Chain A
Amino acid sequence: MRSTFHGLETAKKALFTQQAALNTLGHNVANANTPGYSRQRVNMATTPSMDYPGLAKSTEAGQLGTGVFAKSIERVREGFLDNQFRNENKSSGEWQARAHALDKLQAIFNEPSDTGLSKVLNNFYLSWQSLGRDPDKLETRAVVKQATTDLVSEFAKTDAKLSELDADLGEGIEARVDEFNQVTSQVRQLNDQIRTLEVLGDKANDLRDRRDLLVDQLSKLANITVREQNGAYNISVGDTLVVNGINPTVPLTYDKVNNTTSFPVAGGEISGQMNSRREYVSVYRAQLDSLVNGMVNGKFDVSLPNEYTFEAGVTNLPYDVKLPNGTVMTKGSPIAPGFKLPKGTVMTFNGLNELHSFGYTMQSPATKAGPLFETADGSTTFTAANIRVAKAILDDVRNIAASHTTYVDANGDTQVKRGNGDIAFMIGESISSQIDFKDGLPNNSAILTKGTVASYMRAMIGQLGAQGQTAERQVQNQEALLNQIENMRQSVSGVSLDEEMSNMIKFQQSYSAAARCVNTIDQLLDTVINRMAAN
């Protein structure tokens, strides 16, 4: 037997449920632009219909509906897309960090340009050609001194900028690591809150959205994997479980000096920046150092532009030589006093310093020249940071060697032949000499084992350019991929205002209709109660 007020009750449920739907719709519209928000939907279901089978079941036609209720409020979201997004976000973070570092490296090396290191290197070698023409002029010596000083300071500047970039990257990693730790502890807190709420059977939609947003943020920083267990997220980086339910998180720490983290990180911005330090910045620094040491100490051949006569006192050949007729004579071979090397003889020197020391200064009486470069710390291995122009040359440009020949003047003093510019020409010509960057030198990371200074620079810059190009392309690819996945996510979870508005009208109409039902039942009851009374 149905209740007299059954209809009122059904209509009331409808009013409440449509209102709940409208409220949720308002929440969706309000959060249409909230990052990480996924639209929510009220799941409506019918309330149990009457009557239940039983002895007391009425004989009326059965299963009368009793109305509607809001069964749950759910967010619309696809976990599969989240996983995809996070996976691509990881690579995107890694490549963005790398591209950023490579961009800065390209700016530091500044090629091709009129002011880059290769230009300064060229100027250095070419200035010696001018000295070869005018070996007795102080002004050309001053030009050589300036070009040499420029070269040394360009090496120092480049190295200082590389070291700055290295430090910047180190600080950047520290900041990212802090962020990572903060976010993981926030995820842990949200795990706690979500679990508490969901024990009661509700869905903690908004908290879950916030947690997913934080995990998205994490995925840009490191290679995380997420597993949901009893409503809580367990997050691991590689084999390390960083967030485990509501247990304390495992913090990530970074050792700036050794460029290592407390547990291995293999993707995302943190790894991208660490790899940039390891694979780019320190490699280019080491390559630059090897270039410097190769120039100063590396073995190379250069041919005599003029004939050369050894002084009477020289009994053993001080250098490897190859005469124009093809005869090869090794260093240390005995030679006759006044042994003559013809023009075009190829001589082998251990670096510019040895070639420079082969000559004489412009001082009177004649003095053997010292090295062209020296180190700030007295070490025998030159680096971009410790190379200096020899102090003797900075003090007096006469100490630059241009000539290799002397004579005894009327007073019996040995004097240098000032019109001889052969040493200067040989240094100038050594721009096209193949230098041994590894052979005979301490273990180093030269990019070429043998080559000219210019080809070494080209190899470095070419490698940098190729790496930069790859990184830029990867960043673009990742951006496109992320954009596509984000689009798919938005397609599922995003709030569509059109949809919400048409739903609004739908719910509003239902609400009005339910109200109309109340009205009608009221009239029915009016008929029964007021008009059917005995007069």
Chain B
Amino acid sequence: MRVTQNMMNAQMMYNLNRNNTRMDKYQEMLATSKKLNKPSDDPVGVGYAMRYEAQVARIDQYKRNVNDGTSHLEMTDTLLSQVNSLLQRANELAVRGATESMSIDAREAIAAEVRHLYSQMVTTGNSQFNGRYVFNGQKTDVQPYDLINAESSVTDTATINYMMSEGDSIQINVTGNLVFGESADPDNAFAVLKKLEADLLANNTAGVNSAINTLDSRMNKVQQQWSDVGARMNRTELIGNRLEDFDLNVQKLLSQTVDADIPGTIVNLKMAEAVQRSSLEVGARVIQPTLIDFLR
């Protein structure tokens, strides 16, 4: 084949251009630390990358749901423990007040404490978390218990559920009627305390004695709700842990799909550089001399 100077020149340009393209590719991979910079780099990989990225964002959102739900449940847990100790204290006072030989002064002192327990119980029933009433179901903007007639207040019975993971919702509230009792219940916490106070003042020992039983029955129901909250907290924690594991796995998959192998890319870039350098050197040798240089 007949080879002319221009052919060698063109061929060198073509090859140099290809070398530059290759170096540019490695350069971009190193600068972005990604091997996937546009869909045509890897049409299949880009689909996976998009899927993993969406999953990471969703897991993140579910983790926030879990965190919020957990703090809501923790708040409820604390409040239920308060209600339980208030009832326990009322029980102790009822036991003490049931003694017939007790002086009027002492009974009045006990009655005063029971009244205090009542208002404490109403305050607990009207507790807010994050600006929302905890015990009024979905009517979070409405105060559930009336300070004077808390025993006849009717609360919303609807539950609030948070999505904790795909298709999995968990109830994060406890409605007031389950904790303090329905308005007509004989063991309605507020009604019991009110009656206990009245019986103490009226020296109705039989009434005070019966209060001990109703308080016991209320405490049982509160504890039932309390352990239910505990169980839901456990489940939420479990889901949270699972989300963390899942997150880690997906992040790893995402990184494998998208991230450039930095050491490998550097080695490739160095090789491309070496090729480029030698082709430039060869080019300089080949292009320069012609017969003209030797004709005198």
Task: List residues 461-518 of chain A with CB under 8 A from any CB of chain B.
Answer: 461-469, 471-472, 479, 483, 486-487, 490-492, 494-499, 501-502, 505
The residue of chain A having its C-beta at the shortest distance from the C-beta of B160 within the complex is: A419
Q: Is the CB of A469 within 8 A of B40?
A: yes
Chain B, residue nearest A495 (CB): B4
- A432-B46 contact given A102-B40, A487-B7, CB 8 Å threshold: no
A69 within 8 A of B: no
Nearest B residue to A425 by beta-carbon distance?
B163
Residue of A nearest to B67 (CB): A133
Cα separation A45 to B141 with both chains bound (whole Å): 112
Interface size on A, residues (CB 8 A): 71
With A32-B5, A109-B39, A126-B57 known to touch, is A497 a contact of B163 (CB < 8 Å)? Answer: no
Contact A136 B141 (CB under 8 A): yes
B161 with A417: CB separation less than 8 A? no
Cα of A136 to Cα of B156 in the assembled complex, Å: 16
Indicate if the CB atoms of B292 and A129 lie closer than 8 Å.
Answer: no
Structural contact, A417 and B139, CB atoms closer than 8 A: yes
> For residue B130, which residues in chain A have a CB less than 8 angstroms away from its CB?
134
Q: Would B163 and A305 count as touching, CB distance under 8 A?
A: yes
Choose the segment among B58-66, B79-87, B112-120 that binds chain A (4+ C-beta atoms closer than 8 Å). B58-66
Count of chain A to chain B residue pairs whose CB atoms are closer than 8 Å in the complex: 191
Q: How far is the CB of B23 from chain A (nearest CB, A)?
A: 16
Closest B residue to A496 using CB positions: B4
Return the CB mask of A123-164 against B: 1 if under 8 Å, else 0: 100100110111011000000000000000000000000000
CA distance A497 to B65 in the complex (A): 78
Q: Which residues of B contact A483 (CB under 8 A)?
A: 10-11, 14
What is the CA–CA distance of A123 and B162 in the complex, to the nearest angstrom? Answer: 18
Which candidate, A87-95, A111-119, A234-242, A291-299, is the interface stretch facing chain B?
A111-119
Flag whether A394 is at the interface (Cβ < 8 A). Answer: no
Measured CB to CB, the closest approach of chain A to B110, in angstroms, equals 36
Contact at A112–B169, with CB atoms within 8 Å?
Answer: no
Asked if B166 CB lies within 8 Å of chain A CBs, one says yes
On chain B, the number of residues with a Cβ less than 8 Å from chain A's Cβ atoms is 59
- Asked if A275 is at the interface (CB within 8 A of a chain B CB), the reply is no
- Tell me if B206 is interfacial: C-beta within 8 Å of chain A: no
Q: Which residues of B contact A109 (CB under 8 A)?
A: 39
- B6 and A33 form a contact (CB under 8 A): yes
Give the nearest-CB partner of A482 in chain B. Answer: B14
Q: Quick check: B47 and A461 within 8 Å, CB to CB?
A: yes
Residues on A with C-beta less than 8 A from B10 are 483, 486-487, 490
- Nearest residue, chain A, Cβ from B43: A465
Could you tell me the distance between the alpha carbons of A521 and B217 in the complex, rounded to whole angstroms?
Answer: 148
In angstroms, Cα B61 to Cα A123, docked, is 10
Contacts A417-B158, A468-B40 hold; do A461 and B7 have CB atoms under 8 A apart? no
Closest CB-CB distance, A154 to chain B, in whole Å? 15
Q: Which residues of B contact A418 (CB under 8 A)?
A: 138-141
A492 to B139, CA, bound (A): 91
User: B159 contacts A306, CB within 8 Å?
Assistant: yes
Identify the closest chain A residue to B133 (Cβ): A419
Tell me the chain B residues, 163-202 only, with Cβ under 8 Å from chain A.
Answer: 163, 166-167, 169, 173
Q: Is the CB of B161 within 8 A of A501?
A: no
Cα A418 to Cα B160 with chains together (Å): 11
Expressed in whole angstroms, the Cα–Cα distance for A403 and B137 within the complex equals 13
In the complex, which of the residues B6, B41, B58, B136 contacts A495, with contact meaning CB atoms closer than 8 Å?
A: B6
Q: Report the 7 A-B pairs with minimum CB-CB distance, sorted nearest first.
A: A465-B39, A468-B40, A465-B43, A419-B140, A417-B138, A494-B4, A305-B169
Given contacts A112-B53, A420-B158, A429-B166, 4 further A-B contacts (CB under 8 A): A419-B158, A468-B38, A496-B3, A499-B2
28 cross-chain CB contacts under 8 A: A106-B40, A111-B50, A112-B36, A118-B53, A126-B61, A129-B61, A133-B162, A134-B130, A136-B140, A417-B156, A417-B158, A418-B138, A418-B139, A419-B140, A419-B173, A454-B51, A457-B50, A463-B43, A464-B43, A466-B43, A469-B40, A487-B7, A487-B10, A490-B6, A492-B2, A496-B4, A498-B290, A505-B295
Give the B-binding residues of A (Cβ under 8 A). Answer: 32-33, 102, 106-107, 109, 111-112, 118-119, 122-123, 126, 129-130, 132-134, 136-137, 303, 305-307, 343, 403, 405, 407, 409, 415, 417-422, 425, 428-429, 431-432, 454, 457-458, 461-469, 471-472, 479, 483, 486-487, 490-492, 494-499, 501-502, 505
